[in-house]
Amino acid sequence: MEENNKSTLKVSKIRDGIVIDHIDHGKALKVLSTLGISGGEEFTVSVLMNVKSKTMNSFKDVVKIERRVLKKVELDRISLVSPGATINIIKNFEIERKFKVEIPDSIIGIVKCSNQNCISNNKEPVSAEFRVESKNPLILRCVYCDRTMIQPEICHKI
Amino acid sequence: MLKQRDVVSVDDIETDEMFAIFELAKKYENLLKSGKRISDFESKIMATFFYEPSTRTRLSFESAMHRLGGSVLSVPEPKSSSAAKGETLADTMRMASAYSDIIVIRHPLDGSARLASKFSSVPVINGGDGSGQHPTQTLLDLYTMWKEFGGFDKLTITVLGDLKYGRTTHSLIRMLSRFKANVNLVSPDTLKMPEHVISALPKNFKVNVTGDLNAVLPKTDVLYVTRIQKERFVDPNEYQGVIGAYSINLETTQEMKKGSIIMHPLPRIDEITPDVDETVNARYFQQAANGVPVRMALISKMLGVN
Ligand SMILES: [Zn+2]
């Protein structure tokens, strides 16, 4: 019993950092990899997978990262992996700010075009660029070759 | 208007601009017939970059520029020059815009013309990119229909053949979707129009996808036939079967409605038998010839002299 309490405490409280909540279940590791976190870092990372969500009768993943801030491009990446994710910014054990990630209207340099014959996959000084044609379901259209991409392909190409 | 703008996709041309191009093309057609010289473009230079061979398209563009009185710099095989040395298309376009007033590019990669337009400081015309767009082909296709029928509303256009790889059909459908045209897409299952092309059409524009040509032929005003390439089939017997089912011959024309026409972007192989050439329906040679005045009109609008 005591052992269990200790571990609960460990994952539920962080001093400074971020809690990414309501990640689609099974996507926690993908969220970490899109943030470039592999586990070899100096800071503590907690991963909870397949947690029963309080509000919905479903499962979710949660990721807690100490001493880490998120850049805009990283929030955009998370939004593509798990559009329902919420971000809690923690300062001194308190939630300083809480917000939902939002899929931007255009995606530049995050997703690679799935069309192998697309010029953006060639050695040219441009990043892959997409217009978000629909957010739910997510549909991206390549600015160069006009092809569309949907999940789970988008996730694979991040 | 189109002055100093790029034409990469048919979306780059507004409907009123398209009709303005048609009116000007008609003028040029008459001027060409009269044998008058045009000299408005004497100081203008067009550079053509054909990274894949297409003699027909290249000659049509170059002829158009010469007919306007301008000159042409042609890089017939860019593969053997800059690209082979590892130069990016971006750099080639930056360089080329210093030497010319307008650039035509044809390239095997999808989206290459869009990229070219980002790096060129002079207007770029897409002469066909990968399996993507070929907007000037669409302009001359629609010009051919416009000359025949005066418009597109209520017109029934049946597009036949390789709708998967045939890029001319993709741009064609996209442009037709601006009008109240009825479109039938007839192809074997393996060569159907890709979903990404159909999903990009306006929601209220309905196309009829079918494999049965005979069912739609009697109501068709324009039968637009495309080339079916043998290379697309793994099984040569399947190719023979498709050609057998979809080739247009004298008998087919007898099923067609009065005043209807047959078009083809050329070159045709087995899709239309030679005996159709002499029928009242055949328009494909005129269609190809229309390429020159239409491209003259487009270049003229883009350079902004007219
Ligand atoms: Zn692409």
Q: What is the ipTM of this complex?
A: 0.85
User: What total number of domains does chain B contain?
Assistant: 2
- Answer yes or no: is B209 within a domain: yes
Is residue B2 domain-resident? no
Asked whether residue B121 carries a pLDDT value surpassing 90, the answer given is yes
Which pLDDT score, from 0 to 100, does residue A4 have?
47
Residues B58, B64, B70, B71, Cα dihedral to 10°: 20
Interface contact A118-B111, CB threshold 8 A? yes
Whether residue B128 sits in one domain with residue B155: no
- Is A142 in the B-facing interface, judged by CB distances under 8 Å? yes
- Give the residues across from A131 on adjacent strands: A106, A141
Which of A 114-133 lie inside 8 A of B, CB atoms? 115, 117-120, 122-126
Rounded to the nearest angstrom, the minimum Cα separation between A92 and chain B is 48
B5 within domain boundaries: no
Query: Could you identify the residue written with the tokens 């870092």?
Result: A41
Q: Do A118 and B88 touch (CB under 8 A)?
A: no
pTM of the model: 0.86
Residue B275 lies in a domain: yes
Share of chain A above pLDDT 90, in %: 70
Separation CA A61–CA B305 (nearest Å) = 62
Determine whether the interchain pair A120/B88 forms a contact, defined as Cβ–Cβ distance below 8 Å: no
More confident residue, A138 or B167: A138
Residues B42 and B101 in one domain: yes
Q: How far, in Å, from the CA of B235 to the mean position of ligand 1?
A: 30
Instruction: In whole angstroms, give the CA distance from residue B183 to residue B86.
Output: 44
Is B3 inside a domain boundary?
Answer: no
- The phi and psi torsions of A12 (rounded to 5 degrees) equal -90, -20
Q: Is the pLDDT of residue A6 over 50?
A: no
Mean of pLDDT values over B77-85: 60
Q: How confident is the model at residue B84 (pLDDT cuts 50, 70, 90)?
A: low
pLDDT at A42: 84
3-class DSSP assignment, residue B60: helix
Range of the domain at B182: 135-288
- What is the residue whose two structure tokens read 């040509």? B213
Q: Please report whether residue B252 resides in a domain.
A: yes
Average pLDDT, chain A: 88
Residue B233, amino acid = F
Higher-confidence residue of B229 and B159: namely B159
Q: How far is B282 from chain A (nearest CA, A)?
A: 33
B124: in domain: yes
Who contacts B257 (Cβ-Cβ below 8 Å, separation ≥6)?
B218, B219, B220, B221
Do residue B98 and residue B148 come from a single domain?
no
Tokens of B30: 């008459």
Task: Write the CA distances from B62 to B45, B50, B57, B74, integer angstroms.
Answer: 10, 12, 9, 9
Of the partner residues A115, A124, A147, the one whose CB lies closest to the CB of residue B115: A124
Q: Which helix (H) or strand (E) holds A18?
A: strand A17-24
- Please tell me the distance in Å from B111's CA to the nearest CA on chain A: 4
Contacts of B86 in chain A (CB under 8 A): 123
Cα(B234) to ligand 1 centroid in Å equals 26
| pLDDT band at residue A7 under the 50/70/90 scheme | very low
| CATH number reported for the structural domain that contains residue B21 in this entry | 3.40.50.1370
